[in-house]
Amino acid sequence: MQNPQQVRRQQGDLSNIGVVQSVAERIAQSVGQVILGKRNEIRLTVLGLLAQGHILIEDIPGVGKTMMARALSKSIGCVFSRIQFTPDMLPSDVTGVSIFNQKEREFEFRPGPIMAQIVLADEINRATPKTQSALLEAMEERQVTVDGTTYPMNQPFIILATQNPIEYEGTFPLPEAQLDRFLLKIQLGYPSPAEELTVLSAQQYNHPINNMNQVVSLQELIAAQNAVKEVYVAEEVMRYIVALVTATRTHEHVYLGSSPRGSIALFRAAQVRAAMAGREYVIPDDVKALAEVTLAHRIIAKPEARFTQASSRTIVHDVLNRVPVPGASPY
């Protein structure tokens, strides 16, 4: 395998990895003042932001899903919007609506809450499929179309959606097409007793989020988002990504495997992880570390797989064990 740093120097466009590291660390430290003991989950959220991808947070109520989105927004000084999804919500409640202005004698667009930069889609699985579909265009194409007119989203634009895994009454499971548009799916989980004690002490008089300040400018964030795209990915590593995704489609317990969008998600996420680690090139360990959070939610296991305790997460782990790592000896 050719030295990736030499390749990048030959191309003459080494990315400013220092900017990416600095931006990522400042945001992670800032959010970490509010979300205690979840360093890995915070870094994954920052990774999703730098990769310009959307994040699905599935967990029980009260573990900090909403606070994570608010803290991220305050750290980067972006316009924050929260959408509380309910079964009676209409698509226009999300995207906005055109209203006739009698004074001007013309229609004017009243933007909905989706027209923000950091959008918290709270309990997204409580909305009907019709309303959920209103997010598809915004998530993939960074625009919304209302009454035939297209309105571009502000940059940066990221949706942090939450859903409760244990309350099924009054919920509408997300369709595969929408799940596929999330770059990552993460879980926060309960804090440890020591962390929960720290949370109680920190919130005795005032919530820590009220003392948060912007730590990164939008110009720095956009520069970091552009810099990660230049991280070098060797052909062997790209082949490894494709082999992993292909294996999810042929696994004996899989009904529906990952789409090509999953390959792109794993590719882009690996670039960001490498940059956050101070490297100008991706290594197989970056791919392995992110395979579960980028691919598991794109996989549907066969109904009979439950008899063998197989799930989308265990299938990804099995695939990682089966597919040879580039450069590794088979013996």
Q: Which of 100-109, 114-123, 160-169, 282-291 has the lowest mean pLDDT?
A: 160-169
Give the pLDDT score at 330: 45
Mean pLDDT score, 99-110? 80
Quote the pLDDT of residue 168.
Answer: 59
204 vs 237: which has the higher pLDDT: 237
Domains of the chain, earliest start first: 19-212 (3.40.50.300), 231-326 (1.10.8.80)
The per-residue pLDDT for 170 is 61
For residues 2-16, give the mean pLDDT: 49
pLDDT computed for residue 9 by the predictor: 42
Residue 18 has pLDDT above 70, yes or no: yes
Tell me the average pLDDT across 42-59.
Answer: 92
Residue 53 pLDDT: 92
What pLDDT is recorded for position 166?
60
Segment 87-107 shows an average pLDDT of: 84
pLDDT digits (tens, 9 = 90+) for 165-192: 765 556 777 888 888 999 999 988 888 8
Question: Which pLDDT band holds residue 320 (cuts at 50, 70, 90)?
Answer: very high
pLDDT at 329: 43
Residue 11 has pLDDT above 50, yes or no: no
Q: Say which range, 98-107, 112-121, 228-237, has the weakest mean pLDDT.
A: 98-107
Q: What is the pLDDT, as a whole number, of residue 331? A: 39
- Looking at residue 27, what is its pLDDT? 94
Q: What is the 3-state secondary structure of the chain?
A: CCCHHHHHHHHCCCCCHHHHHHHHHHHHHHHHCCCCCCHHHHHHHHHHHHCCCEEEEECCCCCCHHHHHHHHHHHHCCCEEEEECCCCCCCHHHHEEEEEECCCCEEEEEECCCCCCEEEEECHHHCCHHHHCHHHHHHHHCEEEECCEEEECCCCCEEEEEECCCCCCCCCCCCHHHHCCEEEEECCCCCCHHHHHHHHHHCCCCCHHHHCCCCCCHHHHHHHHHHHHHCECCHHHHHHHHHHHHHHHHCCCEEECCCHHHHHHHHHHHHHHHHHCCCCECCHHHHHHHHHHHHHHHCEECHHHHHHCCCHHHHHHHHHHHCCCCCCCCC
Q: Read off the pLDDT of residues 53-72 as tens digits, 9 standing for 90 and up.
A: 999 998 877 788 888 888 99
Lowest-confidence region among 12-16, 209-213, 216-220, 226-230: 12-16
Mean pLDDT score of the chain, rounded to an integer?
86
Q: What is the mean pLDDT of residues 150-165?
A: 87
Task: Please determine, for residue 6, whether its predicted confidence score (pLDDT) is greater than 70.
Answer: no
As a whole number, mean pLDDT of residues 196-203 equals 84
Higher pLDDT, 324 or 101: 324
pLDDT winner (highest mean) among 121-130, 269-278, 318-327: 269-278
